[in-house]
Amino acid sequence: MNIQQNIRVAVDAIVFGYSRRQLHVLLIRQKFGLLKDRWALVGGFVQDHEPLSEAVQRELREEAGISVDYLEQLYTFGDDVHRDPRMRVVSVAYFALVHTEKYQLIADSDAEDARWFPIDELPPLAFDHARIIQTAYRRLQGKLSYQPIGFDLLPEHFPFSDLENLYCTILNTEIDRRNFRKKMLSFGILEETEHSAIQKSGRPGKLFKFNSLKYNDLKEKGFVFEIKFA
């Protein structure tokens, strides 16, 4: 069989961050090429010698100056053969959840600038990156009900109200806060710390932290994290 191909493989990173009660997405502004000055996801072509997971981490370091602990493969985008105006490109997308205040963005390589954008205030994007972000956002919303991934978006210590507001923000709806608190505390994976939240008025509330070791231990024993939202 004579197979002729002229296809490039790329990776894209959808990095979600959370601050000031808003969900953000990391974007870079293109420095070169046909789409110069357009905003886009961090990403680029995979080198011949590197695994996909290493390629996406390299692009994050080169274009935004950051490294994230965990990236989950999301989807492969290639059905639209014209998704990239330069050539046929198949992109494997990964997404990550981070607390934005832990990172200082440094644009370099093919990026003129790197910034956090609120997910409901995104600029016009290059390629099909708007579709990729929406796909990742739907995955994030779905996973909130069966994995404790929201803690990755919060600092180590946080008031319980911040966890409630995070769920409301990502799901774009109000939740039954009393039942949410009761259910979340019943899992036994949240610990009340000795630290208190700084408040302008009223009695300061205690800060909590997520016990990942206990969660992993419970999961090995068959524990299932599940929160249902009406």
pLDDT bracket for residue 204 (50, 70, 90): low
> What pLDDT does 77 receive?
97
Work out the average pLDDT over 199-208.
71
Closest CA to 168 of 181, 157, 155, 156: 181
Diameter of the chain measured on Cα atoms: 75
Tokens of 31: 């420095």
Gyration radius (Cα) of the chain, Å: 20
Helix (H, G, I), strand (E, B) or coil at 28: strand
pLDDT for 75-96, tens place per residue? 999 999 989 888 899 999 999 9
CATH assignment, 149-220 = 1.10.10.10
pTM exceeds 0.95: no
pLDDT for 149-171, tens place per residue? 999 999 999 999 999 999 999 99
In the chain, residues under CATH classification 1.10.10.10 are: 149-220
Identify the residue with better confidence: 101 or 15.
15
Whole-number Å distance between alpha carbons of 167 and 190: 16
Q: Report phi then psi at 61, rounded to 5.
A: -65, -45
Closest CA to 167 of 156, 181, 188: 181
pLDDT bracket for residue 230 (50, 70, 90): low
pLDDT bracket for residue 199 (50, 70, 90): low
The one-letter amino acid at 11: V
Q: Report phi then psi at 58, rounded to 5.
A: -65, -45
Query: Per-residue pLDDT for 200 more than 70?
Result: no
Closest CA to 155 of 14, 17, 22: 17
- What DSSP state is assigned to residue 137? H
Dihedral sign of CA atoms 164, 165, 169, 174 in order: positive
Tokens of 42: 């961090």
Computed over every residue of the chain, the mean pLDDT equals 92
Q: What is the DSSP string of 52-100?
A: HHHHHHHHHHHHHS---S--EEEEEE-SSTTSSSSSEEEEEEEEEEE-G
pLDDT bracket for residue 33 (50, 70, 90): confident
Q: Contact, 76 vs 93, CB < 8 A? A: yes
> What pLDDT does 136 receive?
97
Q: What kind of architecture, by CATH, is found in domain 7-143? A: Alpha-Beta Complex (3.90)
Tokens of 169: 């923000």
Work out the average pLDDT over 112-116.
95
> What pLDDT does 228 receive?
80
pLDDT bracket for residue 30 (50, 70, 90): very high
Closest CA to 91 of 5, 8, 11: 11
> What pLDDT does 229 receive?
72
By DSSP bridging, strand 88-98 and strand 7-19 are parallel
First and final CA of the chain: distance in angstroms? 55
> What pLDDT does 202 receive?
54
216: Cβ contacts below 8 Å, ≥ 6 apart = none
In the chain, residues under CATH classification 3.90.79.10 are: 7-143
